[in-house]
Amino acid sequence: MGRVIAGLLFVLGTLMNAQTITNLDRGILIGNLLFEGYKALKGGPDATPKPDPNAKTAESFCYRNKTTERITVKMRSEAEGEDEAVSRELVIRKGDKECLYLLPKGVYMYEVLLPSKEVYQKGEYRVTEEMLITIQ
């Protein structure tokens, strides 16, 4: 990062002293240098890490509650390649989001319960990657 800034300052200083470049050309070159420097610091589309397809866990598995009341989400599973059952329970306030991190991959049965203990939703998910599930 220091090399990029030093290079930008060097080129910028050189351009300022050039007598044959008009003010418009100088402005365009400086703008281009600043834009390219920003892209270099920010990183391109390849800068975001891709999930490992061979990983045994999902980075995050989240629920968002868009109902008008608090909900409880119960999840249970036999994770792939494991002998023991995985069980999780989340209590999510209205308008909030809760996440489970490094959840073992597998098929999970879930139940969404209202405060009255009534089952609001029931089903199963195959957890293979990061996911956000919205309960409405």
What is the per-residue pLDDT across 46-58, written as a single tens digit (0 to 9) for each?
556 666 777 888 8
The pTM (predicted TM-score) of the whole model is 0.58
**Which of 45, 27, 20, 60 has its CA nearest to residue 12?**
27
7 vs 129, residue with greater confidence: 129
What is the per-residue pLDDT across 75-109, written as a single tens digit (0 to 9) for each?
998 655 556 678 899 999 999 999 999 888 888 99
Mean per-residue pLDDT, 49-71: 85
